[in-house]
Amino acid sequence: MAWRLLSWGRVIGLVHGKAKGCRRLLGLVLLVASATALARQAGLSGASVDRGFGHIHDRRSDPEWSVHVLRIDRSRPDLGLTTTLGGGDRIGMRTVSEQVAAMADSEGTPIAAVNGDFYMTEDAYRGDPRDVQVRNGELVSAPSGHASFWLDRQGMPRTTNITSRLQVFWPDGKSSAMGLNELREEDAVVVYSAAAGPTTRTDGGTECILERVGDKAWLPIRPGAAIEARIADVRREGNSAIPAGRLVLSLGSRLASRGRGLAVGQVVRLVFDTFPDLQGVQLALGGGPTLVRGGKAMTWSGFQVRHPRTALGWNSNTLFMVVVDGRQSGLSVGMTFPELANYMASLGCEEALNLDGGGSASMWVMGQVISSPSEGRERPGANALVLVRRPPVTTSGGRNEGGATNNAPRP
């Protein structure tokens, strides 16, 4: 969509200075009318600034770049952010367009979206986000130490490297590190929720079906939560079904001695801590590396390669979703990390981080993909970050709260 809106004054100037006859005049008029109509249809015209968001297609020739920038007014109480999963309500792989189409009405009206985190490619857990994901307040993927984006309890955007402190405390009081909804290694412990899908997809080991203890806090899993669970069943062959309203705790075959000590009726304690603490957070999404910190572009040494890129950045007033087209001669060569960092800083970002790029880099706005994916079509991915419109949240005192980065998703 390589068009630029021209004012009528600019058209008149072009006509008087350059047009050669009526055909030239008519062509210019039709060009502007067509572009304006297209912009209105997509919701990207200059008037969209009044809606709290606007799109810029930045074209440059040296180097050859095609960059899509979505600017979002952070003060708008009717705009919010949410994340999606490739499988709808579970881990999987779908294009950004398909993920947006699968969203529930309760999440708001989708306006724009970009692809999200990197993801695992193993067949058993293809589409598992590489890092942390919190979706509508539910922790569906554990952090793995990379730079990530989240909205804190006050709804302010944050980014830093997040590490996992997930643990299970066994009936004897000892503890083990624990993963969440991921490929389980033979020497590891992983807990599975409904977000993993119908089964654990494991091979062998010991698996405990966990149920709620009394009326204590239970599902969905919240970041920072500590929950007690009773062992309702013990299985020794793996690939257990994940019953509705329950969890499955899976131990690899190298932990057989620990598994043999587990029995129906015993209680385990599951702790979902992270560092930094994400307790109360409604939205988090992995990515990395960090591009801009404190208004300064990060630096890299060594050989840098240009690729399609997706990035997210912000300052006190504006949130920026950015997709750089790439690997397409005649359109865009893509950017290196230093180029992307400098570009995000030039937009005025105080903080920014990279998201998955390459063939995954996609921007969807108002019903259409407006970027140019490098493979000629959208590539399925693990998750997406979506801008939505919702009725503003009203406090008990009648005051509206929220904004494009502090409007908590509705459950």
**CA atoms in the 13 A half-sphere facing the CB of 359:** 10
Mean pLDDT computed over 171-200 = 97
pLDDT digit string (tens) for 367-394?
Answer: 999 999 999 999 999 999 999 999 876 6
Model confidence at 10, pLDDT cuts 50, 70, 90, reads very low
Mean pLDDT computed over 236-244 = 96
pLDDT at residue 23, as a whole number: 39
Model confidence at 333, pLDDT cuts 50, 70, 90, reads very high
Mean pLDDT computed over 62-87 = 97
Residue 407 has pLDDT above 60, yes or no: no
Burial 5-23 (b: 16+ CB within 10 A, else e): eeeeeebeeeeeeebeeee
pLDDT at residue 393, as a whole number: 66
Tokens 């539910």 identify what position? 138
Cis peptide before 276 (omega within 30 of 0): yes
More confident residue, 37 or 91: 91
Residue 5 has pLDDT above 60, yes or no: no
pLDDT at residue 345, as a whole number: 98
The amino acid present at 320, given as its one-letter code, is F
Residue 29 has pLDDT above 90, yes or no: no
pLDDT at residue 391, as a whole number: 86
pLDDT digit string (tens) for 90-131?
Answer: 999 999 999 999 999 999 999 999 999 999 998 889 999 999
pLDDT at residue 11, as a whole number: 32
